[in-house]
Amino acid sequence: MKPAALRLYKKIFPGCEIRDLRENGVKVHVLDKEFGIDALLEFPSGQWISIQEKYRRNDALKYLQFTQEYKNAAGTEWESDGEWAKLGAQLYFYGWANAAETDFEKWAILNVAKYKLLVESAGGLEKIGTLENNRRHGRASFYAIKMETLEPAFVTDYRKLKTVQR
């Protein structure tokens, strides 16, 4: 889904170059490993914005939930803090693939600072989402949060799939 995300970024942020920090495979970039930053959007002026990404399969669209990873290897001796504890990106792209996995059927971009403040003002992730355990992929735990709950943090409107001014 990376090509579809790159097309969207170029449309939303005209003139930007996208620097993917995951390109080195096993040699993970420190910004990705330590701060949950997958890419940098580099503007023509020289400034940049960091972005975290999550692509979901089309069948997950029925839930219309944002899933925030909380713990890795939950309940095992290797349990460690997940993405929530180290999320340092400025923006978060979250999208659901179409059935053919050639484009996004729905997507949203969140302002991470607004998202974190929204969670804090609510009293924590447990107050706005439901804790779930993923038994199939690495035993990560995550909070499932309804997209409408996160509306104050949107840079884009997930229902209309277009950029909105906030």
Domain limits for position 132: 2-159
| 106 three-state secondary structure | strand
Please report whether residue 165 resides in a domain: no
Of the candidates 91, 22, 92, 104, the residue with the CA atom closest to the CA atom of residue 60: 104
Please report whether residue 96 resides in a domain: yes
Please report whether residue 41 resides in a domain: yes
Contacts of 105 (CB under 8 A, 6+ apart): 58, 61, 96, 97, 98, 99
Please report whether residue 15 resides in a domain: yes
Provide the whole-model pTM.
0.89
Could you read off the pLDDT of 3-46 as tens digits, one per residue? 999 998 988 889 999 988 876 656 678 887 788 899 999 999 99
Mean pLDDT of the chain: 88
Which run of H or of E encompasses 126? helix 125-128
Residue 48 has pLDDT above 90, yes or no: yes
Number of domains in the chain: 1
d(CA 7, CA 5): 5
Residue 127 has pLDDT above 90, yes or no: yes
* Winning range, highest mean pLDDT, from 17-21, 23-27, 133-137, 149-153: 149-153
Mean pLDDT of the 58-72 span: 92
Please report whether residue 164 resides in a domain: no
Please report whether residue 152 resides in a domain: yes
Mean pLDDT of the 125-147 span: 89
